[in-house]
Structure 1
Amino acid sequence: MPSLLKIVGIAFGAIALVGVVVGSITWAILASQGPTPPELVPLDWWEHTVIYQIYPRSFKDSDGDGIGDIKGIITQLDHFVDAGVGAIWMSPVFVSPMVDFGYDISDFYNIQEEYGTMADFEELVEKAHQLGIKIILDYVPNHASTESEYFKKSVAREPGYENHFVWANPIIDPNNASNRLVPSNWISQFGGTVWEWNEARQQYYLHQFAIEQADFNFREPAVKEEMLNIMRFWFEKGADGYRLDAIPHLFEADPNDYGGQYPDEPLTGNPFLTPNQAGYTTQEHTRDQIELYDVVYEWRGFADKWTNDNNAETRILLAEAYANVTMTMLYYGNERDRIGAHFPFNFDFINSLSSNSNARDFVYIIKRWLTYMPQGKVANWVFGNHDQKRMPSRFRPNMVDGLNSLNMMLPGVAITYQGEEIGMRDGYVSWEDTVDVAACNQGNPDNYLQFSRDPARTPYQWDRSTSAGFSTNTSTWLPVSQDYLEINLQAQKEATRSHFKMYKSMTRLRKEPALSHGSYHIQSLSENTFALVRYLLTHDTYALVFNVGETSDTVDLSTVQFLEEPLTVYASSVHSNRVVDDTVPRGSVTLQAGEALVLRASPM
């Protein structure tokens, strides 16, 4: 007789065999049915949207005074629908003396007269919301105009306002007791010392930007409370969120930590800067102080509570954060118990890439953000804004379609600065026409363009009519760019192929599940060309192949992962010889300088 152990072993073997057979049958059935499609979790309105930045002064003039306004924006809301935009962010439209064109606010609760009225703003919100477009306001908490009531009351030391701003006593010159010295060697972002003497108060006040922009004191509880009051007011007016301006400057070194005096900053040693230019000192005491993050976290808590209390759609906070990658990621939250901004703006394409960058640079910069970004957060991509040279002027005009396509195909939120959808370039603004405070403070007729932001702010180019269709007035606040006859929206709508039509095709593509919910893969194929693939089980795969070099380049697409044949062209840059639905081999492909191909591949 067989042993008991042998009998048991045979029995278990039979059971295992049955299990293998049943399992094989089950797998065969599942395989014949194909892979199970993943469930697409609905996204919040902001998580995969396209945000379009408007510089209101330069977007559309409705009354012929040469200055853009809110009614002008209202007349062009259909443009955003046509372009596939989900939200518009407006640079400040609040009451301001316009020293820094709206970023020096004197009344945070009212609309600047030349931009319109509160009724105009309310109409904009109502009509935009009817079209499914969200409104994001530029919120400027770091400073206020010296013409504001806040500042006037602080100068007069009115109760409750004495410490609304950063005030400091002068340092007495040890060699001359009658000589008044500034409290520290800190340099303003617009040049010169950050300290300005106020005769009435007999103290210096801090201004990290223009003299007329006095810095709030965020160590004063009344200031923090007023910031929440301002947020609440515009939420109730219908704002869907805020872009938080100049957040790195909210706090500066506390003199109590340095024996009661503000510490001097070390010099950077940059031989190309003068003692009056930003960057001459390290700015280690004037930006990125750790206290500022707690304020951002408090604001997020406030926004979330307001949303919940009012049973409203999500109100978002977007932080302007020029900092190293580690400090930038802290704006998302501290990964323990504090939630921060919905995202900090990603300026890597502005700060780290240029026309000299190769494909590996692009791949590295993209992977760096996605690697450092905390788990579960949403990425974003910025290619230009009102403070930087326009995208085609920083890179090359033949890269416009590739850059816009890259923006639309990367995971997260795509941000477009006005004019990028038609490839607008920096306009020429003479020294005589220059109005930017940064250029006027630091420049002269020989070097002002080094500092001027005006070329990126010239009026939007709608058509070939007077002032490019921006205004009926031949005189505009900044001159219209001289290339408007060639580059304008109307011409691109009429053309068979154009930057705008390519842009529209890419915003439509963002609705595909592979882009909204899928995974990504990015790799360099050569020094000049890289590929970005977006894929999701059972859905079409899409790939961007982009030559960022100045010469043509032949690459092998067979090395690109997650691509299945056949490959067809979904979209191509305007100077490409390939057109929609052309077949592309999964092998050797040659791309012209700057050429971008968006390919559709079979589902995985």
Structure 2
Amino acid sequence: MARKLLSLVACLCWLLAGTQADSAKNKAKEQDENWWRHEVFYQIYPRSFMDSNGDGIGDLKGITSKLSYFVETGITAIWLSPIYRSPMVDFGYDISDYRDIHPDYGTLDDFDELIATATKLGIKVILDFVPNHSSDQHEWFKKSAARVPGYEDFYVWEDAKPGEGGEERAPPNNWVSVFSGSAWEWHDERKQYYLRQFTKGQPDLNYRNPAVLQAMDAVLLYWLKRGVSGFRIDAVIYVYEDEKLRDEPLSGKTADANSVDYLDHIYTRNQEECYGLIQHWRKLLDDYTVKNPGPARIMMTEGYAELSQLMDYYEDENGVQGANFPFNFDFITELNAESTAQDFVFYIQRWLIYMPPGHAANWVMGNHDNPRVASRYGAQSVDAMNMLLMTLPGIGITYNGEELGMEDYRDISWNDTVDQPACEAGEENYKWVSRDPERTPMQWSDEKNAGFSTADSTWLPVHPNYEELNLVNQQLAPSSHYKVYQSLIKLRSSKVLKDGTYTAQALNRRVFALKRELKGQPSLLTVVNVSNRTQQVDVSNFIDLPNRLTLLVVGVNSQYRVGERLKPAEIRLSPHEGLVIQLRPSK
């Protein structure tokens, strides 16, 4: 009898151990599949991040040398702007070889070292992928221009129209380049126009040719095999154009026929095939994940478009999956320093309302194409905007330097200007067109060139405020933008921010609050003053009472201190101040 009991106990223990092991495996699988849903993706502009060899240009070894910075900060996913071989007409967005590294940035061995070191440190690497166009120096384009068999239709070529007023020829239609002027460029060798929606050195690929899609699929697989965790798909809305090449209607926004705003771009953006292409690549990534060890390989898409169009990039009306998430640029395009509390609540709620069920929201606070947060919203708003970014549901996107409150260097001279659209705008107009001011080198310390490079000069000048505004100073200071950011990253690991519900309310025209709640967990309240005046608000009607309000995160210049208690009816906010508050039921 005793032996039977022992045998039964052993069997039960074995079954229990098996159940626990299965549970652990399922939990690990779920974490691998969903690792990105609450991630903070840190965008690195490689040219400006860290220079390892003293040539004044950031590079891959420089990034590798700074990976410990991400560990210290709490960042576990980085996204690199283009590092591919390129003539650098548009600083890497004109690619001449999709399978090689530009010499300025290093070699494939350097890239492999970056991936290996990042993997050891638990950091995932996302690559920019630029599918709409290549460089005109790419072998594909050279062969296409020469009509080499198999490459004749790799790009969008079209015959000229008869010219008017004595002109020899005219472009096929009225389409305008993003960078102004006709979107068509004449090619003397081929005696045809090619489509180029950006610079003339960036001819548009023809995805209606199956060979182009096959070639790009191979590029994605090439980098997946080298260890990347996914891709940010650049300019996805431009990949297909109207097959009939119809003229686009006038927008009525400007009388300048060379301006991109002159036309309503109904035939050159967000064509139906764009969604099918993203769905195709999502399946490619999902299939690769299934067949290879490691977490889910993901895809995020970049495109400035109407909200309804962006939502279709998540999934179509039949539920076919597209991007893991399309970038949400509302904090850049819809909100600014003049926005009211109601504006903020509206645009935040709008995305969450329209987003298809089961998907993850995301919030892009800045990038390499737009003025920095400190320059758009004001230097006083840096901490509040990072509090907002980190306590909203879903994914946060941080552009390098925003954690320090870096500012645009708008006074870069004409001689130092390198951004192509700015150069084309001319000396009188370049300053307000240029994207160089938000691309200046990372400010690591108060040493030469802000610790970015030992070179006598850098590819773009360092912002003159680097002696005061730099990482080392902020690490040593009792309170700093960096330390606020660091504490917010740590806070994001809490269950209430990962899984909690979200509610927002404008408390008046200048102050809004957002609340995160999860059963069994202390709730969190983020309160933001978007005005340049001190505000006092009462949150009693927005939270459950009675509750103890304890400050978890405060800004650099706050009158409050972490751990301090607040009265719900007497929360006083300095101009542009944000607070993150923990709510616990009073005993």
Structure 2 length normalisation: TM-score? 0.93
Superposition pairs of residues 54-93 of structure 1, within 5 angstroms: 54-93=44-83
Superposition pairs of residues 354-373 of structure 1, within 5 angstroms: 354-373=336-355
Match of 1:283? 265
Match of 1:20? none
One-letter amino acid of the structure 2 residue matched with residue 458 of structure 1: T
Match of 2:92? 102
Match of 1:18? none
1:394 Cα offset (Å): 0.7
Match of 1:228? 217
Match of 2:516? 534
SS at match of 2:168: strand
Residues 1:264 and 2:247 are matched in the alignment: yes
Match of 1:199? 188
SS at match of 1:546: strand
CA contact (8 A) 2:301 2:323 kept: yes
Distance of 1:549 and 1:591 partners within structure 2: 10
Match of 1:401? 383
Match of 1:29? none
Superposition pairs of residues 99-138 of structure 1, within 5 angstroms: 99-138=89-128
CA contact (8 A) 1:563 1:601 kept: no
Distance of 1:542 and 1:440 partners within structure 2: 47
SS at match of 1:215: coil
One-letter amino acid of the structure 2 residue matched with residue 65 of structure 1: D
Distance of 1:603 and 1:416 partners within structure 2: 34
CA 1:174–1:480: 2 relative to 1, 3 Å: closer
Q: Deviations over 1:352-390 (max 9, x none)?
A: 000000111000000000000000000110011001111
Residues 1:507 and 2:489 are matched in the alignment: yes
Distance of 1:356 and 1:520 partners within structure 2: 25
CA 1:563–1:169: 2 relative to 1, 3 Å: farther
CA 1:491–1:564: 2 relative to 1, 3 Å: farther
Q: Deviations over 1:316-337 (max 9, x none)?
A: 0000021000000000011424
Match of 1:186? 175
Distance of 1:163 and 1:423 partners within structure 2: 47
Distance of 1:344 and 1:573 partners within structure 2: 30
1:590 Cα offset (Å): 1.4
Match of 1:571? 553
Q: Deviations over 1:137-195 (max 9, x none)?
A: 0000000000000100101111111100000000013665x711111111111111111
Q: Deviations over 1:292-346 (max 9, x none)?
A: 1000000001110111111332000000021000000000011424110000000
State the number of aligned residues: 557
Residues 1:160 and 2:143 are matched in the alignment: no
1:103 Cα offset (Å): 0.4
Match of 1:26? none
CA 1:603–1:520: 2 relative to 1, 3 Å: farther
Distance of 1:558 and 1:244 partners within structure 2: 44
Distance of 2:196 and 2:263 partners within structure 1: 16
1:540 Cα offset (Å): 1.4
Superposition pairs of residues 104-503 of structure 1, within 5 angstroms: 104-173=94-163, 176=166, 179-255=168-244, 262-271=245-254, 274-427=256-409, 428-441=411-424, 443-503=425-485
Distance of 2:277 and 2:387 partners within structure 1: 35
CA contact (8 A) 2:548 2:585 kept: no
SS at match of 1:429: coil
CA contact (8 A) 1:143 1:214 kept: yes
Distance of 1:511 and 1:454 partners within structure 2: 35
SS at match of 2:475: helix
One-letter amino acid of the structure 1 residue matched with residue 449 of structure 2: S
One-letter amino acid of the structure 1 residue matched with residue 229 of structure 2: D
Q: Deviations over 1:5-31 (max 9, x none)?
A: xxxxxxxxxxxxxxxxxxxxxxxxxxx
Which piece of structure 1 moves more, 446-455 or 562-571?
A: 562-571
User: Which blocks of at least 5 consecutive residues in structure 2 are unaligned?
Assistant: 1-26
Distance of 2:443 and 2:121 partners within structure 1: 23
1:595 Cα offset (Å): 0.9
CA contact (8 A) 1:96 1:102 kept: yes
Which piece of structure 1 moves more, 503-512 or 182-191?
A: 182-191
Distance of 2:153 and 2:294 partners within structure 1: 35
SS at match of 1:311: coil
Distance of 1:495 and 1:337 partners within structure 2: 50
SS at match of 2:387: helix
One-letter amino acid of the structure 2 residue matched with residue 108 of structure 1: Y
Match of 1:545? 527
Distance of 2:221 and 2:400 partners within structure 1: 28
CA contact (8 A) 1:539 1:603 kept: no
Q: Deviations over 1:171-230 (max 9, x none)?
A: 013665x71111111111111111111111010000000000000001110011111000
Q: Deviations over 1:539-572 (max 9, x none)?
A: 1111111101111111102122346521111010
Distance of 1:76 and 1:497 partners within structure 2: 22
1:602 Cα offset (Å): 1.0
Which piece of structure 1 moves more, 89-98 or 443-452?
A: 443-452
One-letter amino acid of the structure 2 residue matched with residue 316 of structure 1: I
SS at match of 1:415: strand
CA 1:268–1:524: 2 relative to 1, 3 Å: same
Match of 1:19? none
Distance of 1:512 and 1:324 partners within structure 2: 33
CA 1:430–1:478: 2 relative to 1, 3 Å: same
Which piece of structure 1 moves more, 330-339 or 417-426?
A: 330-339
CA contact (8 A) 1:543 1:599 kept: yes
One-letter amino acid of the structure 2 residue matched with residue 165 of structure 1: Y
Residues 1:584 and 2:573 are matched in the alignment: no
Match of 2:11? none
Distance of 1:54 and 1:496 partners within structure 2: 27
Q: Deviations over 1:448-499 (max 9, x none)?
A: 1221110010000000000000001130000000111121000000000000
One-letter amino acid of the structure 1 residue matched with residue 320 of structure 2: R
Distance of 1:286 and 1:59 partners within structure 2: 34
Percent identical across equivalent pairs?
Answer: 46
CA contact (8 A) 1:138 1:242 kept: yes
Match of 1:10? none
One-letter amino acid of the structure 1 residue matched with residue 203 of structure 2: A
CA contact (8 A) 1:331 1:343 kept: yes
One-letter amino acid of the structure 1 residue matched with residue 525 of structure 2: A
Q: Deviations over 1:258-303 (max 9, x none)?
A: xxxx2221222224x6221211111221111111100000000111
Which piece of structure 1 moves more, 120-129 or 429-438?
A: 429-438
Distance of 2:58 and 2:291 partners within structure 1: 36
